Amino acid sequence: MIGRRGLLLGAAAAAGLALLPALAEAAPLAKVKALGVLRIAVYKDNRPWSWTEAGKVHGIDADLARAIADKLGVRVDLAEIIADESVDDDLRNAVWKGGLLGFMPADLMLHIPFDRTFASRNDQVAIIAPYYRESFQLACAPGALDCEAPPTQWRGKRLAAELDSIPDFYLIGAFGGILAKDVTHYMSGAEAVAAVTGGKADAVLASRAQIEAGLHDSGGRTLDRRKMPLPAFTSPGWDIGMAVKENSRTLGDAVEEIVAAMTASGELKAIFAAHGVTYAPALAA
């Protein structure tokens, strides 16, 4: 299958193709206000950021999206998008072009990496309002293994990771792959964390938000959290922002003002806290 190859192709495809006109233009600020609705894309099945339970979209991103629409004085239309092989593809599907089968482009999409190189190859969108600093962490069931030990000492322990993620590649690939047989794969980071809080695994490498929200949801479990950096671990963390269509900068500016005010007032921090996650400002903010 060739889906993953889309990774770097959003921009290339845009340049190479005479693209179909977007089915519906993402509306700049005046149009959003006139229509009285702001369509915001969030990821489907992305705990603790956005997920559906009993017909309602929950999560930090869902709450943030509602607050932004509220402060703009419009109704929110939360659109869940199934993640494609890369965020570049997601921006094409959810923001600037729309899905091949009629997914209407959103005015705003949350949870977009705020990164100069990434932004430069996605020039159909403007990436704005960095609102969080994410990073990967190792969390361990107390007594099950030594969280601060060299990873090679974890042979034979039950390690959990999200399938096809940096934690996965690290655990099955590092140190000549000696931990590969000890890794159990889960379809999401949240499930990998739940495996440890539920006693099915000894340690998990996942995002800090996934770990903290998982602990929050488990009703007061505590896990050891590794403080030392993992040897030869490749990801120093990344900033999370939002995206609007390149020609929707009026809307982008208004959203940036709202997010700045929510940060200053502590409202943003409170949204994170409600899900058990410690707010961390983006480095770029």
Per-residue contact string for residues 48-87; x = within reach of other proteins by CB under 8 A: -x------------------------------xxxxxxxx
Name the residue nearer to other proteins (CB basis): 29 or 205. Answer: 205
Q: How far is the CB of 251 from other proteins (least distance, A)?
A: 20
9 belongs to the binding site for other proteins (CB under 8 A): yes
182 belongs to the binding site for other proteins (CB under 8 A): yes
4 belongs to the binding site for other proteins (CB under 8 A): yes
Q: How far is the CB of 245 from other proteins (least distance, A)?
A: 18
Select the residue interacting with other proteins from 78, 93, 158, 259 (CB under 8 A): 93
Q: What is the DSSP letter of 67?
A: H
Name the residue nearer to other proteins (CB basis): 182 or 256. Answer: 182
Name the residue nearer to other proteins (CB basis): 80 or 224. Answer: 80
100 belongs to the binding site for other proteins (CB under 8 A): yes
Spell out where the chain has E strands: 37-43, 51-53, 56-58, 75-81, 108-114, 125-134, 136-140, 159-162, 183-186, 203-207, 224-225, 238-245
- Dist CA 241 CA 260 (whole Å): 12
Q: How far is the CB of 5 from other proteins (least distance, A)?
A: 6
Q: How far is the CB of 31 from other proteins (least distance, A)?
A: 22
Per-residue contact string for residues 151-180; x = within reach of other proteins by CB under 8 A: ------------xxxx-xx--xx---x--x
Neighbours of 64 (CB within 10 A): 27
26 belongs to the binding site for other proteins (CB under 8 A): no
220 belongs to the binding site for other proteins (CB under 8 A): no
Q: What is the DSSP letter of 46?
A: B
* Strands 51-53, 37-43: pairing kind: unpaired
Name the residue nearer to other proteins (CB basis): 115 or 253. Answer: 115
- Dist CA 6 CA 137 (whole Å): 28
> Which residues, at least 6 apart from 41, have a Cβ–Cβ distance to it below 8 Å?
79, 80, 81, 94, 95, 106, 108, 109, 110
Q: What single string gives the DSSP state of each residue in 84-147?
A: -SSHHHHHIIIIIS--TT-PPPPSEEEEEEE-HHHHHT-TTEEEEEEEEEE-EEEEE-TTTS-T
| Half-sphere exposure for 238 (CA within 13 Å, toward CB) | 15
Q: Which residues bind other proteins (CB under 8 A)?
A: 1-9, 12-18, 43-44, 46, 49, 80-90, 93, 99-104, 111-113, 115, 117-118, 134, 136, 163-166, 168-169, 172-173, 177, 180-185, 187, 189, 207, 234-235, 237-238, 240
